[in-house]
Amino acid sequence: MKSPLLPRESLIAGAYGLGAMLILAALIVLGSRQLSHFDAALVGYTFASLFAMFGIVYRYSMWLQRPPTALYWRRGWQAFFTRRGRARNVGLMFRRLFSSFALNIFIWRRNWLRGAAHWLIMWGCVLAAAITFPLVFGWVHFEFADGSFERYRANIFGFSTFSFETDSLLGFLIFHGLVWASFLVIAGVMLAMRRRMRSHDALALQRFGEDLLPLIMLFAVSITGLMLVVSYSWMDGFAYEFLSITHAATVIFTLLWMPFGKFFHIFQRPAQLGVAFYKDAGQRGQQAICVRCEQPYASQLQVDDLIEVQRRLGYRYEFVTDRVDHYQRVCPRCRRISMALSQGKLWQESHGTAS
């Protein structure tokens, strides 16, 4: 049933991945003003990021080529760009971005502990990424302003922007941005770990690579980062070299592993938005009526799409009767009932039945 892994698909995905990687490389060169703002000490991070870029885009485009995903991708954009709904959709998109992505409301509904854990980890990571990537790529660059040592000026993409006093509160907050991010991540990881070690459901279902390793990596990145701060702030740089190599190792591992493990959901998840628009479009359109119970059960759009997807996947749910042409036209409840009834019929034939 699995669609064969055609070299063609891999080639396409490989090309996209390569392209994305080259674009990122070009942006690094451009944004760091021909590498003049580039910190050579961070070159390991840069190469890891470039590889991660390739991996993520490769996997994403492989994923997009699966029949159901491809269809949803297309349909999601179609639904979003319908001529009449475009303005409304942009509004909706922001609302959904806020409730689902900024607030994680759907996760809080599962259980407050899970909501809190995810929300802390997510915002910690967002903050950390927003700080580190531009710094690593040389896109953000600080230099002393006005020829004094009291003010810092931030250059973004080589353009000079705002400046602030070194020992101001803003300065303190900016220079310790990664510390704050670590606090968020560590708190979230602790909550998640507590659940994973206590709850029977987690204990039964979790796997090391899929569920525990990501938490361990996040913790390792955060704690080694914090230790660096401790080392240069209070311990006169004790073991700084060792710590910075360890930190680099944890970060690089995490980056390289991005396309493969649980972290890939960061890139898949936005598809949720597309689904929401697809559902909107389905609801506005015609509804499919079940051929057995004659009740509406889904959007006609989705039913027709599923018939197409199943055909491409090689399923043969077609019927050759005059009452129904494809099994997809039977609602889930009638599906549940029908198979059990056909089993009951065999029993009725084998012994009497009262009703």
Site for another protein in 70-109 (CB under 8 A): 71-73, 100, 106-107, 109
Which one, 3 or 233, has the nearer CB to another protein? 3
Q: Taking the complex as a whole, how short is the minimal distance between the CB of residue 281 and another protein, in angstroms? A: 13
Contacting residues for 68 by C-beta, under 8 A, at least 6 apart = 309, 313
Q: Any contact of residue 155 with another protein (CB under 8 A)?
A: no
Q: Taking the complex as a whole, how short is the minimal distance between the CB of residue 268 and another protein, in angstroms? A: 6
Stretch that binds another protein, among 33-41, 124-132, 231-239, 340-348 (CB under 8 A): 340-348
H helices of the chain, in order, are 7-31, 43-64, 67-80, 86-96, 105-110, 112-136, 169-175, 177-198, 200-205, 213-234, 240-257, 265-268, 271-284, 300-313, 332-350
Cβ atoms within 10 Å, residue 340: 10
Stretch that binds another protein, among 87-95, 154-162, 215-223, 267-275 (CB under 8 A): 267-275
35, 197, 245, 341: residue in contact with another protein (rule CB under 8 A): 341
Which one, 258 or 309, has the nearer CB to another protein? 309
CA-based torsion, 112, 114, 120, 123: positive or negative? negative
C-alpha to C-alpha distances, 79 to 55, 87, 92, 93, nearest whole angstrom: 29, 12, 12, 12
298, 300, 304, 311: residue in contact with another protein (rule CB under 8 A): 298
Measured distance CA(355)–CA(340) in Å, rounded? 16
86, 88, 95, 110: residue in contact with another protein (rule CB under 8 A): 110
- 125-144 binders of another protein (CB under 8 A): none
Q: Any contact of residue 245 with another protein (CB under 8 A)?
A: no
Stretch that binds another protein, among 137-145, 174-182, 196-204, 218-226 (CB under 8 A): 196-204
Q: Any contact of residue 199 with another protein (CB under 8 A)?
A: yes
Tell me which amino acid residue 51 is: F
Q: Any contact of residue 116 with another protein (CB under 8 A)?
A: no
Q: Taking the complex as a whole, how short is the minimal distance between the CB of residue 322 and another protein, in angstroms? A: 11
Q: What is the DSSP letter of 83?
A: T
Q: Any contact of residue 200 with another protein (CB under 8 A)?
A: yes
Closest CA to 75 of 269, 268, 273: 273
Size of the site for another protein (CB under 8 A): 76
Helix, strand, or coil here: 14? helix
Q: Any contact of residue 8 with another protein (CB under 8 A)?
A: no
- 202-221 binders of another protein (CB under 8 A): 203-205
Q: Any contact of residue 20 with another protein (CB under 8 A)?
A: no
Q: Any contact of residue 197 with another protein (CB under 8 A)?
A: no
Closest CA to 181 of 226, 241, 231: 226
Measured distance CA(340)–CA(338) in Å, rounded? 5
Helix, strand, or coil here: 298? strand
Measured distance CA(127)–CA(121) in Å, rounded? 10
Q: Any contact of residue 201 with another protein (CB under 8 A)?
A: yes
Measured distance CA(28)–CA(21) in Å, rounded? 11
Stretch that binds another protein, among 36-44, 50-58, 121-129, 347-355 (CB under 8 A): 347-355
